[in-house]
Amino acid sequence: MNKKLISLASGAALLAASFGTSAAEKLTLQLKWVTQAQFAGYYVALNKGFYQDQGIDLTIKPGGPDIAPAQVLAGGGADVVVDWLPSALATREKGLPLVNIGQIYGKSGMMLTCLKSSGISSPADFKGKTLGVWFFGNEYPFLSWMSKLGYDTTGGEDGVTVLKQGFNVDPIFQGQADCVSTMTYNEYGQVLDGGLSNEELMLFKYEEEGVATLEDGLYVLEDSLKDSKKLATYAKFLKATIQGWEWAAANPKEAGLIVLDYDDTGAQTEEHQIRMANEVAKLLASSDKGIGYLDPAAFDRTVNVLLDSDSTPVITKKPEGAYTHAVFEAAAKL
């Protein structure tokens, strides 16, 4: 091919690329927490070009201790957010109409990790103990659990002392708490890395205690679903997201390394991200319909757990319209 034809071909390719870029639909995803393998599927889908294949130009915003996904969504800083269902339902009841368009985790990774030396061998031993709890919406399942057990969480003699835990496990090492909140895929590993062994600990998984609630799901504002074009964009986004999570579950080591590439802080380590990716894979939605489908029975279970809280109600009534399968069904047709 002569230089003139090469030039023309290159020009045509650049023109086609420019049209492809302009045609891509921009979308911003706000994560619930910092860049880590808890969100591996999104980073994998971005890295592997799954969003690009669907015509989505995705921007992923990491979260942090001072970032509330729902507030970012309400302020127009994101189109879709990752949040936990208890927090989303509480926000919805307060007036911000969040709607779940896809459920990524089917099981809860939350648990209380307690020192055996504190004398705790069962939930019956929580009385009089100090329990570390995350707030900013993460406290809702815990409060419901304590209500179910009949423990006062306001400092009474017949209850438990609630320590507002930072997003770390320091209190269990500093003698400030008998138990701390941990996720199976994250902070529990930090406890072990800190020098405590499995033999020194008692674990109380919310799944096993019958108070598990749905965690990482995808939420948008209700009004946006009335726009058929936005709904179609969400479907493309969800299709690519599901592909990303399926790949991450099948390749946890590689997924952990991909996440590491997107960590601009340098705070994450290879060992921790790979371990997290392996543990997260165990939590993904496992209904017959696969990742991304919100099981109505799991939704009802979460609602019932939240409504069981008498002392500090998370929600006061069963929510209506808090989730839709329309986006999942549209994604399945792509």
Domains by residue range for the chain, with CATH: 25-107+214-332 (3.40.190.10), 110-205 (3.40.190.10)
- Closest C-alpha among 211, 192, 200, 163 to residue 279: 192
The structure tokens 């707030």 sit at 135
Kindly state the tokens that stand for 14: 């650049």
Closest CA to 327 of 104, 26, 108: 104
Q: Give the pLDDT score at 11.
A: 42
Terminal Cα distance for the chain, rounded: 39
Give the separation between CA 200 and CA 180, rounded to whole angstroms.
Answer: 14
Element (H or E) spanning 144, and its range? Answer: helix 140-149
Which helix (H) or strand (E) is 13 found in, with range?
Answer: helix 3-23
Q: In angstroms, rounded to a whole number, what is the distance separating the alpha carbons of residues 21 and 10?
A: 16
Distance of CA 299 to the CA centre of its chain: 15
Distant-in-sequence, close-in-space partners of 35: CB < 8 Å, separation ≥ 6 = 43, 62, 259, 262, 263, 264, 265, 268
**Do 120 and 130 form a contact (C-beta atoms < 8 A)?**
no
Beta-bridge partners for 113: 180, 203
What per-residue confidence (pLDDT) applies to 280?
97
Report the alpha-carbon distance of residue 222 to residue 133 in Å, rounded: 31
Instruction: Report the C-alpha gap between 216 and 40 in whole angstroms.
Output: 12
For residue 44, which of 218, 274, 248 has the smallest C-alpha distance? 248
Phi and psi (nearest 5°) for 204? -125, 95
Rounded CA gap, 212 and 159, in Å? Answer: 21
Q: Tens digit of pLDDT per residue, the chain (334 long)? A: 443 333 333 444 443 444 444 479 999 999 999 999 999 999 999 999 999 999 999 999 999 988 999 999 999 999 999 999 999 999 999 999 999 999 999 999 999 999 999 999 999 999 999 999 988 767 878 988 898 888 988 877 779 999 999 989 999 999 999 999 999 999 999 999 999 999 999 999 999 998 899 999 999 999 999 999 999 999 999 999 999 999 999 999 999 999 999 999 999 999 999 999 999 999 998 778 999 999 999 999 999 888 876 656 678 899 999 999 999 999 999 9
Task: Tell me what pLDDT residue 17 has.
Answer: 43
Residue (of 165, 192, 190, 195) closest to 178 by Cα position:
165
| Whole-prediction pTM | 0.88
Burial class (CB in 10 A: 0-12, 13-18, 19+), 61: middle
| Residue 313, pLDDT score | 67
